Structure 1
Amino acid sequence: MNTKKNKIPVILLFGPTAVGKTELLLELFKDRGEVINADSMQVYNRLDIGSAKPTEEYIKLIPHHLISIIEPKEQFSVADFVNRADKLVLDIYNRGKIPVISGGTAFYFKNFIFGLPELPSIDKEIRAGIQLKLEKEGISGLYNELFKVDPQGAKSINSGDTYRVTRALEVFTQTKRSILSYQVSKSPRDNYDFLIIGLTRPRDELYSRINRRVDIMFKEGLLEEFIGLYNSGLTPGDPGMKGIGYSEFFNYMLSGCWLLEDLKEDIRRNSRRYAKRQITFFNSFADVKWVNPDNKEELVRLVNEFL
Structure 2
Amino acid sequence: MSTKTNKPAEEGKIPVLVIFAPTASGKTALTRELFSPQGSHFILNAEIISADSQAVYKGMDIGTAKPDAALCQEIPHHLVDILSPEQQFNVSDFIDAADLACRDIYSRHKLPVICGGTGFYIRSFLYGIAPTPVSDPELREKLKSRIKTEGNDVLYEELKQIDPESAARIHPNDAYRICRALEVYYLSGKTRTEFKIEPELRSQYDFLFLVLEPPRDILYQRIRDRVDIMFADGLDSEVKALIKQGYHKDTPGLKAIGYSEWFDEDGSLLGADKLDEIREAIKHHSCKYAKKQYTYIRGIPGSTVIDFNGTEKDFEKVCGLVKVFADNHLIIP
> TM-score, normalising length from structure 1?
0.91
Any idea what SS the aligned residue of 2:210 has? strand
- Which residue in the other structure is 1:127 paired with? 137
Aligned equivalent of 1:21 = 27
Task: Summarize the Cα distance change of 1:175–1:250 in structure 2 as closer, same or farther, 3 Å threshold.
Answer: same
Q: Is 2:316 aligned against 1:297?
A: yes
Counterpart residue identity of residue 320, structure 2: R
Q: Deviations for 1:146-173, whole angstroms, at most 9, x for unmatched residues?
A: 4565555445433332332232222222
Q: 1:286 aligns with which of 298, 301, 305?
A: 301
> Which deviates further from its counterpart, 172-181 or 41-50?
172-181
**More off after superposition, 283-292 vs 232-241:** 283-292
CA–CA distance in 2 between the matches of 1:77 and 1:248?
21
CA drift at 1:29 = 1.6
User: Which residue does 1:274 correspond to in 2?
Assistant: 289
- Contact between 1:150 and 1:178, CA under 8 Å: does it hold in 2? yes
Could you tell me which runs of 5 or more consecutive residues in structure 1 were left unpaired when the two chains were aligned. Answer: none
Aligned equivalent of 2:198, options 149, 167, 185 = 185
Matched length? 304
The residue aligned with 2:278 is 263
Alpha carbons of structure 1 residues 220 and 164: separation in structure 2 relative to 1, 3 Å: same
Do 2:130 and 2:197's aligned partners in 1 also have CA atoms closer than 8 Å?
yes
Deviations 1:97-130 (Å, cap 9, x if unpaired)? Answer: 10000100011111100011121345xxx43233
How many Å separate the matches in 2 of 1:144 and 1:273? 21
Q: Secondary structure at the match of 1:173?
A: helix
Partner AA of 2:294 in structure 1: I
Give, in whole Å, the separation in 1 of the partners of 2:315 and 2:164: 46
1:284 Cα offset (Å): 3.6
1:223 matched to 2:199? The reply is no
Cα offset, 1:94, TM superposition: 0.4
- Mapping 1:230-269, distance limit 5 Å: 230-251=243-264, 258-269=273-284
Partner of residue 88 from structure 2, selected from 69, 75, 79: 75
Q: What CA RMSD, in Å, does the superposition of the two structures yield over aligned residues?
A: 2.3
Deviation of 1:232 (Å): 1.8
8 A Cα contact 1:92 1:99, kept in partner: yes
Whether the aligned pair in 1 keeps the contact of 2:223 and 2:287 (CA below 8 Å) is yes
Mapped to 2, the partners of 1:109 and 1:137 lie a distance apart of 29
The 8 Å contact of residues 15 and 278 in structure 1, kept in 2 or not, is answered as: no
What is the Cα deviation at residue 217 of structure 1? 0.8
CA contact (8 A) 1:15 1:198 kept: yes
> Aligned partners of 2:173 and 2:258: how far apart in 1?
17
Separation (CA, whole Å) in 1 of partners of 2:76 and 2:285: 30
1:6 counterpart residue number = 12
1:44 to 57, 64, 67: 57
1:251 Cα deviation (Å)?
3.5
1:195 and 2:180 correspond: no
Counterpart Cα distance in 1 of 2:30 and 2:147 = 46
> What corresponds to 2:325 in structure 1?
306
Deviations 1:173-201 (A, max 9, x none): 22211111101331101110000011111
Which residue does the alignment assign to 2:130?
Answer: 117
User: TM-score, normalised to structure 2's length?
Assistant: 0.84
Give the 3-state SS of the residue equivalent to 2:280 in structure 1: helix
In terms of mean alpha carbon deviation, does 87-96 or 231-240 score higher?
231-240
Secondary structure of the 1:201 match is coil
Kept in 2, the 8 Å contact 1:120–1:171? The answer is: yes
